[in-house]
Structure 1
């Protein structure tokens, strides 16, 4: 008997990966038959892996217009977000998430094709479409929290000229790992590790209110200010050097995500589309 299994090409989903993601795709609407979901999803993944233009996606994945239409629809209706939360929930049910969480950000250069979108479009929260102008031109910044094994838990976007510490609360608020079965989603890390860019009194107070222990080195200017005040300056915050060595997991996470060329350079005009690109890369890291 012949083997009817689909041939898996480079950058495509394996049979196991497809079976894990298939239940979260929306059911087909009434009307003419649409392109096969697996072929379309493979085309979207191939496009993000390689960073080519939509028009240059090989015809074996179907019409590029269909791929782009399906990508935008799934980006806006939360399909990709639901997939990410589902694979995280499966990992959490296996006890496979290390809740020592590291946070950091990375800057992504925006291609000239990323400019020109109408301001305040579909994103609402990002009327500038998460594009900022800095020395290197137009850039975006990905603010990300990953677990102790270096897998992405949550992220948010901003312009590349935005300070890291201003988005910490938004990133932590985006952590939401559903339970498999009964129970509230897991939203709070056991411990947070971050670099000196997050060493502010406001951030430390926020983490205390949420009951999140943290390991964040104190900035030299804050140390000097505390010493100038003498006994009124208070005690230095606790700092565990051994735990801080684990902060590099977030750097490794960024390195893996930037293997996706469509993520390492931003080509998408809208923040919603680029958010979907980052989300798909995060899903594949968990798979």
Structure 2
């Protein structure tokens, strides 16, 4: 197939230090398997439909599940994003990701929640994200679909890097959030809600740049297994999101 994805040697050198060490029998070529994982997630395939060039589909699937549980892909994304340099601006927003019936049909038993909720649009998850001024994701959080934007911001705010300003829509117009940003030396560029008695002015020219985070969500959703959630476990779905974000924006 001419459209196969293969990570380059330079890309592999940037991420391979996060791979677990092999014990006993040497494992199958990391470059081939990770490239196969990326191909399946981008094209929305079933694991069994992975091209033969990537090797046995069970090996690809087992590697993805095992490394997801270990948090390998989350750490890869976090380190690559941290090396992106100090951002001049931050942008925050959230988007819904539809949960397919294979992910949402059964109740999840166990210690960890599935991060699937019900909204007027049906069963879905919500991806909260903070990106830099270039529209590259820095922080991502997966929650139930019904979680409000500002509650997601509350869970991420301690990880915000230093920046001059933060751009957000009306969903983030909360007094506590503005105060928290001011305490960190970040100016809030957020339009006021319609029910505010005294609207708070914001920089309308600067606010026009907020489309970049919308573009970022659009590029993530171009990957079919991100646009539609097929994974029942939250940690495997979040790993897929981290893989897509790392490949699109940081590798």
Q: Do they fold alike, i.e. is TM over 0.5?
A: yes
Task: Report the counterpart of residue 11 of structure 1 in structure 2.
Answer: 5
What SS is found at the alignment partner of 2:195?
A: helix
Provide the residue aligned with 2:227 in structure 1: 264
Aligned alpha-carbon RMSD (Å): 2.0
**Partner of 2:102 in structure 1?**
113
Contact 1:117 1:270 in 2 (8 A): no
Query: What is the deviation of 1:253?
Result: 0.6
**CA drift at 1:120:** 4.1
Q: Is the 8 A contact 1:110 1:140 kept in 2?
A: yes
SS where residue 87 of structure 2 aligns?
A: coil
Matches within 5 A, 1:1-287: 9-30=3-24, 32-92=25-85, 97-115=86-104, 116=106, 118-121=108-111, 123=112, 127=113, 129-175=114-160, 187-222=161-196, 225-226=197-198, 236-284=199-247, 285-287=249-251
* 1:213-265 CA-partner distances (Å, limit 9, x unpaired): 1100111111xx23xxxxxxxxx534111111111110011111111111011
Contact 1:113 1:269 in 2 (8 A): yes
Question: Is the Cα contact below 8 Å between 1:155 and 1:174 reproduced in 2?
Answer: no
- 8 Å CA contact 1:8–1:14 kept in 2: the answer is no
Any conservation in 2 of the 1:117–1:269 contact (CA below 8 Å)? Answer: no
Residue-by-residue CA offset, 1:191-219 (whole Å, 9 max, x unaligned): 11000111111211222233321100111
Q: Secondary structure at the match of 1:91?
A: coil
Please tell me whether the aligned partners of residues 11 and 49 of structure 1 are also in contact (alpha carbons under 8 angstroms).
no
Stretches of structure 2 that go unaligned for 5 or more consecutive residues are none
User: 3-state SS of the aligned residue for 1:283?
Assistant: helix
Unaligned runs of 5+ in 1: 1-6, 176-186, 227-235
Secondary structure at the aligned position of 1:221 is classed as coil
Q: Retained in 2: the 8 A contact 1:131–1:140?
A: yes
Q: Secondary structure at 2:84's aligned position in 1?
A: helix
For these two proteins, the number of residue pairs brought into alignment is 249
| Distance in 1 of aligned mates of 2:245 and 2:89 | 18
Mapped to 1, the partners of 2:31 and 2:40 lie a distance apart of 14
Change (3 A) 1:145 1:36: same
